[in-house]
Amino acid sequence: MEKLKTEVLLPEEIDKAAQLLAEGQVVAFPTETVYGLGANALDPEAVARIFAAKGRPQDNPLIVHCTGREQVEELVREIPKEARLLMERFWPGPLTLVLPKNEVVPGEVTAGLDTVAVRVPAHPVALSLLRAVNFPLAAPSANLSGKPSPTRAEHVLRDLGGRIPAVVDGGETGFGVESTVLDCTRRPFRLLRPGGVTLEELQELVEVSLAPGHLEEGPPPSPGMKYEHYAPEAEVYLVSGPGAAAKILELSEALLRKGQKVGVMTWQERAGLYPGLTVLSMGPEGDLPGLASRLYHLLRQADDLGLEVLFVEAVSERHLGLAIMNRLRKAARGREIST
Ligand code: AMP
Ligand code: MG
């Protein structure tokens, strides 16, 4: 890939970003979840640049970001009544709806599927960019495929610096985990990925079923489920249950003796349980929104610190905890220990 100089744009320079996008280039920009890598969703060549920059597998479809429901109507064949309810309640916001696509949406965006994933982001920079270009933006997270998603412009630069022409720096993103993905083409609607809008919030309005895990048999209901995600260089172990601290101390002792660099991700109040280990603080105990917002930064810090093994204490799977644990399970690639 030709080496580019990646320009860091201020939110006031949206017009420059819009110009690049109009020329068929890719630009990274902040959303309320994580930084996205956007391109004109209606231009197959522009969309191909997203896959090339990220090293994303071609069969993993992209989320199309729109200014509002009106723009979504131009891309889909049908919006079920209950999906309209969800749009009214949660848009703009971190909820992606999978709907039947029409012929306007190129197959490159949807990986050949007959459906398209759409959402309206709730970040002022993302919205003003969408309004400035006047076409929908296909935008996956702006990281190298497999790495933790970027929640700061510096994360984007670390992964994609030299591979994309520009990033709009809007500071740290809000939620810190990606949008919830809900398949609205079947009844009941099916949760494909937990995210910023919680399952509990959705269930107040509509019936929702859970997709089977990607390790079960059969093709994955959402292509993204089968890929490795969010993985730092360190080997991650997810440890749950009342004996977590004792287990982590026992296992780390042997590793430390071998001279390995070992860290633990735990709530701030529990940091004292781990003398001798590098502690990555999850923040005040039980603050799931706070943890979600710093999760990917913590995983990237594990790399910065050169950790070889990272123990992570499991958290509750209620509310945002479901999205957090979904990401941690992927980071751990099945290395789970319950006590
Ligand atoms: P990312 O863009 O990295 O946040 O990932 C988008 C997620 O949405 C991936 O897990 C995709 O597999 C999923 N997705 C996008 N479009 C569709 C679709 N049409 N049907 C099912 N899942 C989708
Ligand atoms: Mg992603």
pLDDT in tens, 169-224: 999 999 999 999 999 999 999 999 999 999 999 999 999 999 776 444 445 677 77
Please name the residue whose Cα sits nearest to atom 9 of ligand 1.
224
Residue 109: pLDDT band (50, 70, 90) is: very high
pLDDT in tens, 321-331: 999 999 999 99
How far apart CA 30 and CA 14 sit, in angstroms, is 12
Lay out the sheet containing 7-9: strands in order across.
Answer: 7-9, 166-168, 27-30, 35-40, 137-138, 63-65, 115-119, 95-100, 180-183, 189-193, 208-210
94 ligand 1 Cβ < 6 A: no
Distance 324 CA to ligand 2 centre (A): 14
Query: Is residue 132 a contact partner of residue 125, using CB atoms and an 8 Å limit?
Result: no
Kindly state which CATH superfamily the domain 7-210 is placed in: DHBP synthase (3.90.870.10)
193 Cα nearest atom in ligand 1: 10
CATH class, domain 235-338, is alpha beta
Residue 14: pLDDT band (50, 70, 90) is: very high
110 ligand 1 Cβ < 6 A: yes
Residue whose CB lies within 8 A of the most ligand 1 atoms, among 110, 114, 222, 226, for a mutation test = 222
Which two three-digit tokens encode residue 239? 């440890």
Give the start-to-end residue ranges of the domains of the chain. 7-210, 235-338
Compare 251 and 225 and report the one with higher pLDDT.
251
Which two three-digit tokens encode residue 139? 């935008």
Please name the residue whose Cα sits nearest to atom 11 of ligand 1.
224
Closest by alpha carbon to 180, among 193, 199, 162?
A: 193
Give mean pLDDT, residues 35-40.
98
pLDDT in tens, 250-263: 999 999 999 999 99
Give mean pLDDT, residues 258-269.
97
How much is the pLDDT for 219? Answer: 52
223 ligand 1 Cβ < 6 A: yes
211 ligand 1 Cβ < 6 A: no
Query: Is residue 230 a contact partner of residue 299, using CB atoms and an 8 Å limit?
Result: yes
How much is the pLDDT for 1? Answer: 66
pLDDT in tens, 15-33: 999 999 999 999 999 999 9
Which secondary-structure segment (H or E) carries 311?
strand 309-313
Distance 331 CA to ligand 2 centre (A): 13
How much is the pLDDT for 213? Answer: 60
How far apart CA 118 and CA 148 sit, in angstroms, is 22
How far apart CA 59 and CA 48 sit, in angstroms, is 12
Query: Is residue 229 a contact partner of residue 296, using CB atoms and an 8 Å limit?
Result: no
Q: DSSP assignment, residue 193?
A: E
194 ligand 1 Cβ < 6 A: no
How much is the pLDDT for 223? Answer: 76
31 ligand 1 Cβ < 6 A: no
